[in-house]
Amino acid sequence: IGESNWVLFKKKGSEIKINSLEDAKKYKIGGYNDDATAEYLKKNGFISGKSLILANNEVQNAFKLEAGRIDLWATGTLLGPYISKSEKTGNIVEVFTIKKSDLYAAFNKRTDDSLIKKLNDLLNHMNKDKTIEKINKKYK
């Protein structure tokens, strides 16, 4: 039904450039406890307390990035800008895509096929007329 990529954000004006996940290991990256993105980073060699600084929630990471306590923030491509904007923590810039992540809807196997077709048709229409794009822009 959409995309919610896992990305690294930096503060606007930062000179940080990331070309690979390996490049990011030299920076302090904010994530949060038990989040799929943070767990993915751990599995790829990021060390909790060193290259990966974990918080209790995403809002804390927005403030940490603004204060310079972390260099990069690992979060969703729509979630980061939304939190940063709502918490007024400053402008952030996407610097690297960690992993592409598609979003899906799941239905009970007894759901009527006509309902699923109707929802798929509506989603296709929303993509064609750019409604989805307009909704996503509200978060950036």
Report pTM.
0.82
Query: Residue 126: how many CB atoms within 10 A of its CB?
Result: 16
Note the pLDDT tens digit of each residue in 64-122. 999 999 999 999 998 999 999 999 998 999 999 999 988 888 999 999 999 999 999 99
Nearest to 1 by CA among 124, 137, 130, 131: 124
The amino acid at residue 140 is K
Q: What are the angstrom distances between the C-alpha of 58 and each of 11, 19, 37, 87, 136?
A: 15, 24, 12, 11, 19
Q: Can you state the angle between helices 79-86 and 58-67, rounded to 10 degrees?
A: 70
How do residues 18-38 score in pLDDT, each as one tens digit?
999 999 999 999 999 989 999
Split at pLDDT 50, 70, 90, the class of 57 is very high
